[in-house]
Structure 1
Amino acid sequence: MRTIGNILWFLLAGWWLALYYALCGLLAFVLIVTIPFGIAAFRLAGYALWPFGRTVVAARDAGVPSVLGNILWIVLFGWHLCLAHIAAGIALCLTIIGIPFGIAAFKLSVLSLVPLGTRVVDADAPQTWAAPVAQTAAWPSHR
């Protein structure tokens, strides 16, 4: 079920959202100082491309640098990535079939605002080092 959900997500919204993250990541690499933001953007591009069956966990030891980085991220990249996810979520919720994907887009909009101090992991993997942030998968967790 995850694979079907991911394929439908990819076709409906995932490819262009991932492309948008990749473009933001390239811009961050060009600016040199924001290379850590570029790394986060590429990580989120992969997650936006294929989100079902994976989840995001927050690192317990992320600390103040992540908070300060997230504030700068919001100013530079986060606000328009969040708006892109909200627009995708609204568009997807216009159909009955798209509602679970729209909900996933809304959940990803929060992550697009504060990506630093988080890590994308397999939903079935043990999470001993971090606390769960949000689970995007709208499909059952069995394969």
Structure 2
Amino acid sequence: MNSTLGCLGNALWFLLGGVFMGLMWWMFGVLCFISIVGIPWGRACFVMGNFAFFPFGKMPVSRDVLTGTPDVGTSVFGTVGNIIWLLLAGIWIAIGHLLSAICCAVTIIGIPFAWQHVKLAALALCPIGKTIVPAPVAQAAEEAATLRDYHNKR
């Protein structure tokens, strides 16, 4: 996406409701940090909250795809963490994004915003092990991961 168009999309997104969902992510992040045991989830909430504030021109990508090496968040512990997250908070954030998507989809101009909310709702279900990068970096990382997988299978 062209940077001017991305900036315009992010500005409109923020002013027309993105701020509320970003704050919701941050609120859950603060609650996770207060609980001490929820600090890993809190960190993910703040990363995803920043993405929820300004989503255009960025994409979520699995950290093992990005770096080429697995870590705790992309291992079985990350899967367990995502299941716990889904049951405690992920479902509520996803519902918030889906309701926001429905509201945005009512108008033609809101359809791109509705689509972003749908993508954020999917991300809300399992944010552990993911990070946010510029869209070209995410695409390059996915292509590199595909090549790595191809060469590893040969």
* TM band (smaller chain): 0.7 to 0.9
Matched, 1:51 2:63: no
Larger radius of gyration: 2
Let me know the Cα RMSD of the aligned residues.
1.8
The residue that corresponds to 1:76 in the other structure is: 88
1:111 to 123, 131, 136: 123
Instruction: Kindly indicate whether residue 102 of structure 2 is the aligned counterpart of residue 98 of structure 1.
Output: no
* 1:127 matched to 2:141: yes
Q: CA deviation at 1:59?
A: 2.7
Distance across 2 between alignment mates of 1:131 and 1:48: 26
The structure where strand makes up a greater share of residues is: 1
* Inter-partner Cα distance in structure 2 for 1:51 and 1:129: 21
Residue by residue over 1:8-37, the C-alpha shift from the partner in whole angstroms, topping out at 9 and shown as x without a partner, is: 111112100011011100000011001000
Secondary structure of residue in 1 paired with 2:88: helix
Query: Does the Cα contact within 8 Å between 1:10 and 1:50 map onto a contact in 2?
Result: yes
TM superposition shift of 1:99: 0.6
Identity of aligned residues (%): 38
- The residue identity in structure 2 corresponding to 1:57 is V
Aligned pairs, number: 132
- The TM-score normalised by the length of structure 2 is 0.81
Q: Which has the higher helix share?
A: 2
Alpha-carbon contact 1:57-1:131 (below 8 Å) kept: no
- 1:43-95 deviation per Cα after TM superposition (whole angstroms, max 9, x unaligned): 00000000001111113321101100000001111010000000000000000
Question: More relative contact order in 1 or in 2 (CA 8 Å, sep 6+)?
Answer: 1
3-state SS of the aligned residue for 1:52?
coil
How far, CA to CA, are the matches of 1:53 and 1:46 in structure 2?
A: 13
Deviation of 1:130 after TM superposition, in Å, equals 7.6
Give 2:151's aligned residue: none
Quick one: structure 1 residues 121 and 11, their matched pair in 2 at CA, closer, same or farther if it must change by over 3 Å?
A: same
Letter in 2 for 1:20: M
Aligned CA distance change for structure 1 residues 67 and 129 (closer, same or farther; 3 Å) = farther
User: Contact between 1:59 and 1:131, CA under 8 Å: does it hold in 2?
Assistant: no
Instruction: Say which SS state the counterpart of residue 127 (structure 1) adopts.
Output: helix
